[in-house]
Amino acid sequence: MEKWLGAAGVCVKEKKVLMVLQGTKEEPKRWSVPSGGLEKGERLKNVVFVR
């Protein structure tokens, strides 16, 4: 398995938590907090900012 580098965040507003449904067509779908992988040329410390 390839090592994953990225960031995830927990977004809370008025006692509600933002969740996203993730998974490829071949994978079972799972609820998760928003996240994103490190792209080529990015620095890990910059991944947490909203694009």
28-42 pLDDT, tens digit per residue, is 999 999 888 888 888
CB 44 within 8 A of CB 5: yes
Who has greater pLDDT, 43 or 47? 43
**SS3 letters across the chain:** CCCCCEEECCCEECCEECCEEECCCCCCCEEECCEEECCCCCCHHHCCCCC
What pLDDT is stored for residue 29 in this prediction? 95
Average pLDDT score over residue span 1-30: 90
Of 3, 5, 2, 6, the closest CA to residue 36 belongs to 6
Q: Is the pLDDT of residue 9 over 80?
A: yes
% of the chain residues with pLDDT over 90: 37
pLDDT of 51: 44
For residues 7 and 36, is the Cβ–Cβ distance under 8 A? Answer: yes
Q: Report pLDDT for 14.
A: 96
